[in-house]
Amino acid sequence: MEKKSCMILALDVSDREEALKIAEDVSEFVDAVKVGYPLVLATGLGIIRELSEFAPIIADFKVADIPNTNRLICEQVFEAGADAVIVQGFTGRDSLDACIEVASEYGKDVFVVSEMSHPGGAEFLQPVGETIARMAAQAGAFGLVAPATRPERVKAIREIIGDKLTIISPGVGAQGGKASDVIAAGADWVIVGRSIYRADSPREAAREIAAEIEAGPNGE
């Protein structure tokens, strides 16, 4: 995944034509498209290959099962054409290892959720977020998912993992995070959904956020 705009589109729409149109319209301003259950359940797994025409695809299935099931899920995800998969870290090292093994067989990447961006993410996951981050680094994951709603947590996790892993960070816009703050805190990419796909002009919204990132937190 090449870093240009530092932005990933979360494409949580449920209509195939709309998804393809938005992806095409904003492709100039995003480095990847994240698809998850809303779009895939509505349109089928084939949407991954269709969208991959416009950008690398991150499959956000938050894989969270026993190692054998994780392996079977990841095989389907990569056979479908995804470039990376998001998995949960709380299921433990063996479950994560199964995902990383499959990803390396396909030459693809695994992102591990260390802590989630919504208020409830602070209840159970946050206290173990740093432990999960360390485990992900030891296991050889490609990256972590850390909350744009709490830039101070992104900073803390960056300090723990150093430059070893990339950090992608959801929670910008609709959930309250500011893109340039999160990049300044140590994220490599922000993930933006509703602020783009619900805008009157998704392309214009993506352009504005990309410009905000480029200008930095002080708008210089």
Among 113, 141, 205, 206, binds ligand XMP (CB under 6 A): 113
Catalytic residue among 62, 108, 164, 178: 62
Number of residues binding to ligand XMP, judged by CB under 6 A: 22
User: Does 132 help bind ligand XMP (rule: CB under 6 A)?
Assistant: no
| Least Å from the CB of residue 209 to ligand XMP | 10
100 burial via Cβ count (<10 Å: 0-12, 13-18, 19+):
buried
**Cα separations (Å) of 144 from 39, 75, 209?**
22, 20, 22
Annotation says 62 is catalytic: yes
User: Does 145 help bind ligand XMP (rule: CB under 6 A)?
Assistant: yes
Read off the amino acid at residue 132.
I
Among 171, 186, 188, 210, binds ligand XMP (CB under 6 A): 171
In this structure, the chain runs to a length of: 220
User: Does 114 help bind ligand XMP (rule: CB under 6 A)?
Assistant: no
| Least Å from the CB of residue 216 to ligand XMP | 21
Nearer to ligand XMP, 37 or 69 (CB): 37
Three-class SS string for 23-91?
HHHHHHHCCEEEEEHHHHHHHCCCHHHHHCCCCCEEEEEEECCCHHHHHHHHHHHHHCCCCEEEEECCC
User: Does 100 help bind ligand XMP (rule: CB under 6 A)?
Assistant: no
